[in-house]
Structure 1
Amino acid sequence: MAAPNLQAEKRIRQRYRRERRFKALCVGAILLSVLFLVFFFTDIIQRGYTAFYQAQIQVDVTYTERTVNLPPAAVDSEVRPFVSRGWLRQLPDHVEQDPGLMGQTVTRWVTADAPVGQYLKGKHSGLTEEQKATVDRLREAGRIELAFNSHFFTRGDSKMAEMAGIKSAVVGTILTLAVTMAVAFPIGVMSAVYLEEFATDNRFTRFIEVNINNLAAVPSILYGLLGLAIFINFMGVPRSSALAGGLTLALMTLPIIIITTRAALRAVPDSIREGAFGVGASRLQMVSHHVLPLSLPGILTGSIIGLAQAMGETAPLLLVGMMAFIPAAPEGVTDAATVLPAQVYTWASMPQRAFDELTAAGILVLLAVLLTLNATAVLLRKRFERRW
């Protein structure tokens, strides 16, 4: 009898060792994931936080007919190489807004050229040793400093890094997502309600359900091809517009909204439906008065998650032309527009080093918005979740 007991104990010890190894592997996988996440956020923050600061230089600006027509002549030759060309190009606008400036010399803090900002931030700038010495002297005199980069939030895209911002991309993103939800939410919810509450179980509905599940796994770039073929080539929607991008993202978001809405409807107990029928309600009244309101928190949660996923997409928008250079914010859904992911992609492809920090800063803004949307979805689920 001793031998069987020894074999059983040996098998038990082996089982416990396998369990410990499995738990160790699971813990290791979690720690590795956390390590990658910490490394990612640390790297992005280190690269991007400097973009929220910008070099400014104090100059005496002379407004005359000559300087308005030849803006570089408006500032002293010593500081002229360090003043942003983008700011100098705005001199005619200053005079147009305030004609009283003509004939005056005004002391202003103006935007410095990107290499100056890179040098003050301790990064590779491309300045010569003589230029660095001049910048150091001006800094000691209090004429050059780092200040909050308001241009990043108030301006659109620019070929000059010191003048580039995300305003156009933010407005384009808002318009695009507004079109996406205006189309995808009602169609998705109504489709899910029909399939779950009204449609009979037959081959056709099962075929539709299978294809909806498959569409949720289709690569997003294929939706871009579909949007290009249907909305732009066939329907004539303006290329590069928020309308074209929003309709394309609506196609991609529809399966997600349908699947999450059906799951929310299934979570409502059948006793609610039976009670509604018991008091004489029609099927439409049962759905609209009882089932749909109870499942609304789950529907909203799934829709917000679908919206967050759509916001992070770039591939389908590339094919509908939303990679255009957009310096001014769009005023409507038919105007040329871009979105935050596309703007980040554009900056990442720029050769100037100053765009590296703008790319990281754009990623930080995009992550902040996406995390906010996901946190909102979690809070809604926790706040309105019902346990039956």
Structure 2
Amino acid sequence: MARDFDARTDATRRDYLKTGTGLLAAGLVAGCSSDSGDDTTATTTTEGTTGTTTENTTASEFPYTVSMAPMGDVEFEAVPETIFTRLTHLAGMAFALGRGNDVNAMHAPAYYDALWNQFTPRLPGVELDWTGLYSSWNVTKEKLYSLDSDVHLADPASVLALDSWDMADIEEIATNISPWFGNHYSHRHTEPPAAYADSYEYYTLWEQFEKVSQVFRDEAKYEALAEIHADVLDRIETDLPDGDRPSVVMGGFSDPSAPYVYNVDTPGFLTAHIRPLDPVDAFGDDVASGSRVDMEALAEADPDVILVFGGLHPSYSMGDIRAALEDDPVAQTITAVQDGRIYPQGGRYQGPILNLFQLEMTAKQLYPDAYGAWPEYTEGPYPDLPSEEQFFDRQRVADIINGDFEA
């Protein structure tokens, strides 16, 4: 569908979209109209992350409906082209579907562009550019009108939680521009705003990815990647050692003396890469996920392993973080520091591709004897592991993202 803003008035598009208005759960319409006349087929050309793919779809396939909490049934007249996002688990799903470069907004785009591109060098022919996008954490209605996106891959409940938004604003955007489609509070199974309490459900990362793939009519890519994900989980389960489990602290160490820490055994997609490995949370119930702790508390927890979120980011120096902990008189008493088991991680709001990499890296970091040792890492992209030590075929994943694969 064409994206010729100069040739199309806002009024025309708004009137068209109103064919599916109503409450969010009643089915909201995305996309733009097509003057197809008596044609029974339509050609959709998508310029995505790695090139252009063309799909022929029959007119009878539109409109189509995808359902996910808290939105309910969402109706689409056409496959969305431009994509608004806030959090990177949803931007990462667009990326996995070959639509990464169709994203027009996200939280901290410069940061996450640099982080995601620590992984793309291991995916032959896959490119991603999120630089210069609108930083959308504190999004405004005016900016959403300006972006005029075909879909808002964002949880309306999380937007409602912003001070400047109310439910009328949420419905206005869904009615006048395009639907919301996202789920944020599945990250740690936290409570949504009261207005959504009765309609909220929690999803795994891959359950949510399946629904996003349905929005873009690209279920084959989801199914192919989900098969790889299942194989990775099977390998982890098969080789997971018996006996004692390592105690782990996972957190942000931009200030090593006062890190933010996250529980490793709580439900939600923030821990989707670590729960299958069954570690022990070093803090137990004493510290809530997302809390900031001092070095004395970290020493008292005495983890066997410290995992550093964002440690793969170019702005981080794992060497400096290790040195800061090794030089601190309190941190020197921590088992993980003494044993040199301080490892980098990727992102908390991981999409499916990062999830595959993070399952592989975390398995090696926690159980080197079972899965092969994680290489010493100080800086640079995700290490280029020998093929026999990889948990999944990089070329296969790249081909799926690029749309060059057989289901």
Structure 1 length normalisation: TM-score? 0.23
Structure 2 length normalisation: TM-score? 0.22
Higher relative contact order (CA 8 A, sep 6+): 1
Query: Larger C-alpha radius of gyration, 1 or 2?
Result: 1
- Structure having the higher strand fraction is 2
